[in-house]
Structure 1
Amino acid sequence: MTAAKASSLAEERDLESGSLKAVSGSLTASNLILIFAVSLTMILNIMNNTSINVALPSIAEELGISQADLQWPVTAYALAFGCLLLLWGKLADLYGRKYAYLGGIACFCIFNIAAALSQSLIQISIFRALQGVGAAASVPAAAGIITETFPPGTRARSLAFACFSAGAPIGSGFGSIFGGVFTQYSPASWRGVFWFTAGISVIPFALGSIFIPRIRLDPTRDKRVDWLGGLLSTSGLTLLVFALSSGPSASNGWKTPYVLATLVLSILLIGAFIAWEDLLVRSSRFSLKPLMPLEIWTRGRLAVNLAVVFVGWCAFQPMLYHATLFFQDYQGLSPILTMIRFLPTAVSGIMVCLVFTLVVPYVYGWTLLTIGSLGASFAAMCMALCRPEDPYWQWAFPAMIISVFGADFIFATSSIYVSSIAKPSEQSLAAGMLQVMMQLGVAIGLAVTGVVNDAVASKSSISLGVIPDSGNSNIPKESLLEGLQAAQWTAFAFGMIGVILTVTLLRPIRVIGVRRTSKSRSASEKPDAVEHKETSERDGEKPLHSAAESTETVVISRDEIPVLGMVLNEKEGQEVKESVYYQK
């Protein structure tokens, strides 16, 4: 096949997907800049959360916000971000990821400026929610951009996802640094945090405008949106995250009527969303495609993989949260000194990016997930074993290091695996699903560990003869320490659930970071081999990175299929024969 014809086929694929034009997966200067831009997007997303945590006391003092209402500037962002990921991911797939990416960053930048000008609780909460809307658009679009820019199995894709994943701990570390520095030393105080974030967000917008390949949309493609599914999923997730966030701080805890009502209503709405999505597929009366095809959960080991991500974040973020309480509430450290103790997370984020890129072509995917789950667990265990008289380097420092290795190994491995399972037209949706499981893991993990913390601390306080008040503000330090340690052991248990799931159910996930180039084995060697088309091709989509006439036919077993981004065959252990195309 001539180069011109190959280019024509690539353009045809581009038109059909209505998304990015496939480009070379080599690490050219422009591709490295693109990786930097999308990774900076993740850094800003996380930095926007951690920086405001440090600034909350100053915000409360200047705007006159009560302690009970102080959660809203934080919760508003989390609600908008976590609950719009599915809808924005689908819109990015339908209308172009570059548009969603740039539009999301622009929204994020504008409302950071607005937040810096806020004069009341209502204003800053609304502007924080709108920041979350922008982040919900840009983050899944960024993941989709990676999958279409870099072919499956290339080191470039592994590096891109490793950097993208490392953006979370790097953003967390830098957010704490900038939040503390601006709040304590800048004349603008907490407002400087938002001004700085807005200014930095101009960088990925400018780089994305230049280096993300241009979009070519197919005007005949069905771009109708399942708005009812979007409404049900967004409403259900919003109420669920709200209930989980409000439960620990409500006047009567989880027994507060509005908490119970929103929790039950969220479950009903999520159930209605699942039923509606199933109806769209099963009923011949509807030609509308579902927002989230339910069958995507049955592909390969995707459901189990997302469950591992969920419990991993039930361990990771609660560990960091209760470590903050240990440093500030128990040890009485200032925000700056607390920030310094979290600096290793930013450094290890850079390290894990390099380490993951080096090992992913040689280590099985399930092994990487096991290492990640163990890291999340052992980090919580270190903080649970940390005693007041122990030096920082004995327990807390190792916890900061291995927690990031754990979380990033889970995130980066899952990102590559999820992108291999999803069709080309589902990449941003699949990335949104991954992010939703992370957000739910954070919400549920914090809720559960918070309940354990309060229960153990209260019980210990009563045993010491001190009856806790409504806010547990009079609990003795000994009881406070017991509660924090119990919360860390709970986080450890979540991480170990991930280890069990990975070892027992995800062992079929083999090497995910290397492209197969082995020669075809004869049919006589594998008599059970059958012809199998990639699911996206069966549905009318061409392979993501196609197509040259010169190909290799590779015979791969069922557990090796995720390497090439194919849907697993239904029959366990059946050999699958696939012709894999790569653009020359």
Structure 2
Amino acid sequence: MTDVANAESTSSVRKLHLGWALVLISVAQLMVVLDGTIVNIALPYIQHDLDISTANLRWVVTGYALAFGSLLLLGGRLGDLYGRRKIFMAGLIVFGIASLLGGLATSETTLLAARALQGLGAALASPAALALITTTFPAGPARNRAFAVYAAMSGVGAAVGLLLGGWLTGLDSVFGLDVEGWRLTLLINTPIGIVTALLAPRFLAESESHPGELDLPGAVTGTLGVLGLVYGISRAGSDGWGDTWTLASLAAGLVLLVVFLVLERRVEHPLLPVRVFANRTRASSFVAMFFAPAAMFAMFYYLSQYIQNVMGYSPIKAGVAFLPFCFALVAAAGLVSNLASRIDARYLAGTGTLMAAVALFGFTRLPNDTTLPMRDLQGQYWTDLFPFIVVMAFGMGMVFVPLTLTAVHHLRAEDSGIGSGVLNTMQQVGGALGLSLLGTIATQTIDDLSATVRQAAAASGVQPTADQMKVASQQIFTAGASDAFLLGAGLMLVASLVTWIFLNVKHEELATDGPEAPVHVG
């Protein structure tokens, strides 16, 4: 009887231990993801207070994305070599200190440097967080639920960032102290990051380390290659695909990545082992997770502008408008985590991508009749936005959970970190490419329609009033955004095709641990 009681007590303690471990990992992932969008609403205030030029303002966002995206592979491998918990903690501490520096910044240079340092911290913490799930939670329902929570944090982070950014930016004092609201969007990370790092040794076990095996040539060429690629893609979104620096950056990035791949086949301990891509299911998961976030990030970008610029919502109200996305994605992730042990990942992720594609197509039907009374425009949220926001959230929940499971399943224990790094890199590079491609399409439509309106006004000889120009600009923006959503639906269909054709893993296999068994030719 005593043995049974002891066993039950031990089981309860372990469940509590795993629960706190998941809380720490989830908080870290949410913090890393939302930091990509939390400062967006605060940008006008940052520009005014620090006197940043319009041309340099985008680097407040882009600097973080560049450092984060280009260093993910290195961050993932460092976790494999030196201990994932150690690198996880180091990433959170770097992130917290960088957030403090950014929140206290009094110059443009200090802020931009702090944002890049935040990207470094995120690149260390994020792949280590995903890898820690595979080493902390046993395969099966427990791991499925953990991956569902992780995937939900990855999905809702952007929406939470918009909401939290809008609220914090509107504050002008904290605890009776006068402070610019935009600084709080950065300072809030410091206590969260530091406390999470300090609690990590209590609830997270350290992984085996392999010091002395770092592939320095691969680290340099791989990091610079991804940096060149992400920078070129990001620059294309603002300066065009024909810009000299865009083309030079893309070319340099591709050349360095080719050199990187050649080096990786020749060194004994490569930064990115080729075996990570050897499994067809894993490789198809990476590809699908490249295209799906590309469409989702674009949804947030254009829909947040439509809600504010066309529907007239305030920043905080625009953030609230995305709350249904958060709730629906969390609900979908919880449901899919249970279904993953009974239904093959292909059917879950394939259905999810189709739902997301339908939602994106639904956004192409957004009304642009801004002559309606504001109450009618706001009423359109429930008829023209809300249904598709919920469908998009459910679809992405069905995509993120199974693809995260399959992307790191059957990896060798020593490759968990780099596998997580590849998955995160695909999301970041895919998101950057998606925004640039959709931005190109939207900008072209907006420019063409603007030119047509100017020509029509000149031909008629009648100068439009300010109200007429405002209505025209809102209609033109809606047309451009609609074209972007249509391309986004196309990208999501590509992810769907990859999933249905190549994602071939049975749900029974996801309940097993360990690397894939070698095939013996008899």
Instruction: Calculate the TM-score normalised by the size of structure 1.
Output: 0.79
Which position in structure 2 is the counterpart of 1:310? 290
> Which of the numbers 485, 489, 496 marks the counterpart of 1:488?
485
Q: Does 1:190 pair with 2:182?
A: yes
Task: Indicate how the Cα distance of structure 1 residues 570 and 449 shifts in structure 2: closer, same or farther if over 3 A, else same.
Answer: farther
- For residue 377 of structure 1, give the secondary structure of its aligned residue in structure 2: helix
Q: Distance in 2 between matches of 1:223 and 1:430?
A: 20
8 Å Cα contact 1:230-1:291 kept in structure 2: yes
Q: Does 1:161 pair with 2:141?
A: no
Q: Does 1:274 pair with 2:261?
A: yes
Task: Indicate how the Cα distance of structure 1 residues 48 and 292 shifts in structure 2: closer, same or farther if over 3 A, else same.
Answer: same
Q: Does 1:293 pair with 2:273?
A: yes
Return the offset for 1:178.
1.9
Q: Distance in 1 between matches of 2:508 and 2:70?
A: 29
8 Å Cα contact 2:333-2:398 kept in structure 1: no
Which position in structure 1 is the counterpart of 2:499? 502
Return the offset for 1:139.
0.9
Q: Distance in 1 between matches of 2:432 and 2:64?
A: 13
> Which of the numbers 159, 162, 179 marks the counterpart of 2:165?
179
Task: Indicate how the Cα distance of structure 1 residues 467 and 513 shifts in structure 2: closer, same or farther if over 3 A, else same.
Answer: farther
Q: Does 1:392 pair with 2:381?
A: yes
Task: Indicate how the Cα distance of structure 1 residues 296 and 143 shifts in structure 2: closer, same or farther if over 3 A, else same.
Answer: same
Q: Deviations over 1:416-451 (max 9, x none)?
A: 112213111000100000000001110110010000
Q: Deviations over 1:13-42 (max 9, x none)?
A: xxxxxxxxxx99996100011011101111
Q: Which amino acid aligns with 1:483?
A: G
Q: Deviations over 1:346-373 (max 9, x none)?
A: 2223312321222111111101111221
Q: Distance in 1 between matches of 2:455 and 2:263?
A: 52
Mean Cα deviation higher: 482-491 or 44-53: 44-53
- For residue 454 of structure 2, give the secondary structure of its aligned residue in structure 1: coil
Task: Indicate how the Cα distance of structure 1 residues 462 and 278 shifts in structure 2: closer, same or farther if over 3 A, else same.
Answer: same
Instruction: Calculate the TM-score normalised by the size of structure 2.
Output: 0.88
Which position in structure 2 is the counterpart of 1:205? 197
Q: Distance in 2 between matches of 1:375 and 1:431?
A: 26
Q: Which amino acid aligns with 1:254?
A: W
> Which of the numbers 382, 406, 420 marks the counterpart of 2:362?
382
8 Å Cα contact 1:25-1:156 kept in structure 2: no
Task: Indicate how the Cα distance of structure 1 residues 156 and 378 shifts in structure 2: closer, same or farther if over 3 A, else same.
Answer: same
Which position in structure 1 is the counterpart of 2:414? 425
Which position in structure 1 is the counterpart of 2:372? none
> Which of the numbers 209, 216, 228 marks the counterpart of 1:239?
228
Q: Distance in 2 between matches of 1:515 and 1:357?
A: 12
> Which of the numbers 351, 355, 360 marks the counterpart of 2:340?
360
Q: Distance in 1 between matches of 2:82 and 2:423?
A: 20
Mean Cα deviation higher: 427-436 or 353-362: 353-362
Q: Which amino acid aligns with 2:202?
A: I
8 Å Cα contact 1:24-1:149 kept in structure 2: no
Q: Distance in 2 between matches of 1:212 and 1:145?
A: 8
8 Å Cα contact 1:26-1:156 kept in structure 2: no
Which position in structure 2 is the counterpart of 1:322? 302
Return the offset for 1:391.
1.1
- For residue 289 of structure 1, give the secondary structure of its aligned residue in structure 2: coil
Task: Indicate how the Cα distance of structure 1 residues 479 and 80 shifts in structure 2: closer, same or farther if over 3 A, else same.
Answer: same
* Percent identical: 26
Return the offset for 1:570.
8.5
Q: Which amino acid aligns with 1:186?
A: D
Return the offset for 1:172.
2.4
Q: Deviations over 1:34-74 (max 9, x none)?
A: 01110111110112122111111110111111222111011
Q: Which amino acid aligns with 2:90?
A: G
Q: Distance in 2 between matches of 1:98 and 1:408?
A: 27
Q: Deviations over 1:219-251 (max 9, x none)?
A: xx563211111101110111111111112222x
Q: Distance in 1 between matches of 2:91 and 2:510?
A: 32
Q: Which amino acid aligns with 2:183?
A: R
Q: Distance in 1 between matches of 2:193 and 2:499?
A: 37
Q: Distance in 2 between matches of 1:222 and 1:467?
A: 69
8 Å Cα contact 1:300-1:568 kept in structure 2: no
Q: Which amino acid aligns with 1:497?
A: V
> Which of the numbers 440, 456, 474 marks the counterpart of 1:477?
474
8 Å Cα contact 2:103-2:184 kept in structure 1: yes
Q: Distance in 2 between matches of 1:110 and 1:43?
A: 17
Q: Deviations over 1:58-111 (max 9, x none)?
A: 101111112221110111111111111111111110110010000000000011
Q: Distance in 2 between matches of 1:324 and 1:185?
A: 21
Give the root-mean-square deviation of aligned CA atoms: 2.5
Which position in structure 2 is the counterpart of 1:113? 100
Q: Deviations over 1:458-510 (max 9, x none)?
A: 22223333599xxxx9973322211110000000000011111222222x222
8 Å Cα contact 1:418-1:430 kept in structure 2: yes
Which position in structure 2 is the counterpart of 1:531? none
Task: Indicate how the Cα distance of structure 1 residues 215 and 305 shifts in structure 2: closer, same or farther if over 3 A, else same.
Answer: closer
Number of residues of Structure 1 aligned to a counterpart in Structure 2 = 486
Q: Distance in 2 between matches of 1:25 and 1:126?
A: 45
Q: Which amino acid aligns with 2:204?
A: I
Q: Distance in 2 between matches of 1:135 and 1:176?
A: 19
8 Å Cα contact 1:37-1:203 kept in structure 2: no
Q: Deviations over 1:199-235 (max 9, x none)?
A: 2223422331211124565xxx563211111101110
- For residue 386 of structure 1, give the secondary structure of its aligned residue in structure 2: coil
Structure 1 stretches lacking a partner, 5+ long: 1-22, 281-287, 517-542, 545-564, 575-584
Return the offset for 1:320.
1.3
Q: Which amino acid aligns with 2:400?
A: F
- For residue 505 of structure 2, give the secondary structure of its aligned residue in structure 1: coil
Return the offset for 1:344.
1.4
